[in-house]
Structure 1
Amino acid sequence: MGALLTAGQRHEAPFFADVMNQVRVPRATGRPRKRPEAVAGDRAYDSEENRRWCWRRNIESIIPARNGMHTGPGRPPTCDEEKYEQRNVIERLVGRLKERRRVATRYEKKASHYKAMLQWAFVGEYLKR
């Protein structure tokens, strides 16, 4: 899991590459793989930069196209619907993290303290599994 703290009013889509650079995926051999095989996101992540980032790293982007955004030449991007349905795993994880009052209401004023609490919540979720 990876996390990046930004201002509350900022949208998270511009920070897609920064968060993805923090993610390490385990392999069967034990050495961490630097990139996943596929990345799923909602329509808000549909941007040329995010798709290009995935394409350069040979990662399948499972991001549905926004309505009316791809009207130029060429074929519009595709999205594997069966894989996209698995995105609810992340949504449920976010919901479980927000069950922790300290994470949901952000009592900590310093970003470093809040990130530590968020990592603590990640560890708790990991140990539950």
Structure 2
Amino acid sequence: MSHKQVQAAPQVAQATQQPKAHRAWLIAMLIACASASQTAQAAGGDADTERENLARIDAELERVQVMVKEAAERAPSGQRVKFRYDWLLQDLQLLRKGVADHVDAPRQPRPVPPLRGDYRQ
């Protein structure tokens, strides 16, 4: 076995031993990027297509949340440096909230109260 082969083995082992939560986060980001790319490519696409894409993103983020919760339950205790699954779950929830806020936003202009305009007495 050559010296180069010996050095490559730990890197491969390290890459395959990533926590599930880290992989879940990467999957979520890839899905979001792919959907954003599809949406950008369909510039001028209709609102229904965008809503379908956002619904798929939300469903995938929900699945990732389930994976993170399961990984958190199985996480070893007593480690000096811990992975903060709770922070990851908060970020995933924030992503889902952003998607939901956009989908639920009114599509019609909202009435805005008029400004007073005269500020002198």
TM-score (norm 1): 0.30
* Richer in helix (by share): 2
